[in-house]
């Protein structure tokens, strides 16, 4: 093992993004993530874009170390560039991008120098919708709905109950917002500034950032210790 190279390994993450949640819907893929970059428990950056279009057919969402995500974007830039240079009418779709990223992540893991991210890859090519996930140890799969981090525990149960194949855009957005709201309530590293992105056969749209209203008006919240003084 090269001793000089040791200084460049990601041993633990510094600036991290929290969950990404994504679903297949009638026309393609919908993906959501907040714009927070946490520095430990400090909510340091509040305008980090964690959803990025890749080529013509793919959308990439990332959680985990932001610097590693930026490096991955550089790799993908080169990949897409080289693909375009062939000028052969073919272009890499989400399946290919997912496969490429899986190889990158797994090989880095084998060298004990992982890219500290969980990635969501979604897209539509030739009418076929695709949604997959790959994480820092190379675990990868594809499904109708995926999430990273705490989203797996908080958002996927909601999606298992309420997802169906024929969601319209409006229904899909509402469903993702429901998941993001729960994450806002229950994930320490969540930030109330959210981006939703959609990808269809026609192309990619990353919507402008927005904030969600949260509900605090339960009467039990007003005075929770009323009948048990000193409790929480």
Q: Which residues bind another protein (CB under 8 A)?
A: 38, 41-44, 46-47, 64, 136, 149-150, 153, 170, 173-174, 177, 185-189, 192-194, 196, 207-214, 216-218, 220-225, 229-232
User: Of the two residues 1 and 220, which places its CB atom closer to another protein in the complex?
Assistant: 220
User: Of the two residues 126 and 231, which places its CB atom closer to another protein in the complex?
Assistant: 231
The answer to whether the beta carbons of residues 75 and 44 sit under 8 Å apart is: no
User: Of the two residues 92 and 148, which places its CB atom closer to another protein in the complex?
Assistant: 148
User: Of the two residues 91 and 106, which places its CB atom closer to another protein in the complex?
Assistant: 106
Considering 10, 16, 58, 148, which one is annotated as catalytic?
10
10 is a catalytic site residue = yes
Least distance from another protein to the Cβ atom of residue 190, Å? 8
User: Of the two residues 72 and 79, which places its CB atom closer to another protein in the complex?
Assistant: 72
Least distance from another protein to the Cβ atom of residue 34, Å? 12
Other Cβ atoms within 10 Å of 20 Cβ, number: 28
**DSSP label of 72:** H
**At CA 231, angle to CA 230 and CA 232, rounded to 5?**
125
The answer to whether the beta carbons of residues 214 and 185 sit under 8 Å apart is: yes
Provide the edge-to-edge strand list for the sheet that holds 204-206.
145-147, 20-25, 28-34, 194-200, 204-206
**DSSP label of 206:** E
Least distance from another protein to the Cβ atom of residue 185, Å? 5
- Mind giving me the DSSP string for 76-118? HHHHHHHHHHT-SS----HHHHHHHHHHHHHHHHHTT----EE
Least distance from another protein to the Cβ atom of residue 103, Å? 21
Rounded distance, CA 18 to CA 154, Å? Answer: 13
Least distance from another protein to the Cβ atom of residue 4, Å? 27
List, by residue number, the catalytic residues.
10
């Amino acid at each position: 093992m090269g001793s000089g190279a040791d200084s460049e390994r990601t041993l633990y993450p510094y600036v991290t993004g929290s969950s990404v949640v994504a679903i297949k819907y009638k026309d393609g893929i919908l993906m959501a993530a907040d714009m927070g970059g946490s520095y430990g428990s400090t909510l340091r950056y509040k305008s980090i874009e964690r959803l990025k279009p890749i080529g013509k057919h793919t959308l990439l969402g990332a959680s985990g170390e932001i610097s590693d995500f930026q490096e991955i974007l550089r790799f993908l830039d080169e990949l897409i560039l080289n693909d375009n240079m062939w000028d052969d009418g073919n272009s890499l779709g989400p399946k290919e991008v997912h496969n490429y990223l899986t190889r990158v992540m797994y090989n880095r893991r084998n060298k004990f120098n992982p890219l500290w991210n969980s990635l969501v890859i979604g897209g539509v090519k030739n009418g076929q919708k695709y949604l997959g996930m790959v994480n820092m140890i190379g675990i990868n799969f594809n499904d109708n709905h995926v999430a990273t981090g705490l989203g797996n525990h908080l958002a996927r149960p909601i999606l298992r109950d309420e997802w169906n194949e024929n969601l319209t855009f409006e229904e899909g957005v509402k469903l993702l917002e429901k998941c993001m709201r729960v994450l806002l309530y229950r994930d320490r590293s969540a930030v109330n500034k959210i981006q939703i992105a959609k990808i269809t056969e026609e192309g990619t749209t990353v919507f402008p950032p927005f904030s969600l209203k949260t509900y605090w008006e339960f009467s039990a919240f007003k005075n929770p210790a009323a009948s048990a003084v000193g409790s929480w």
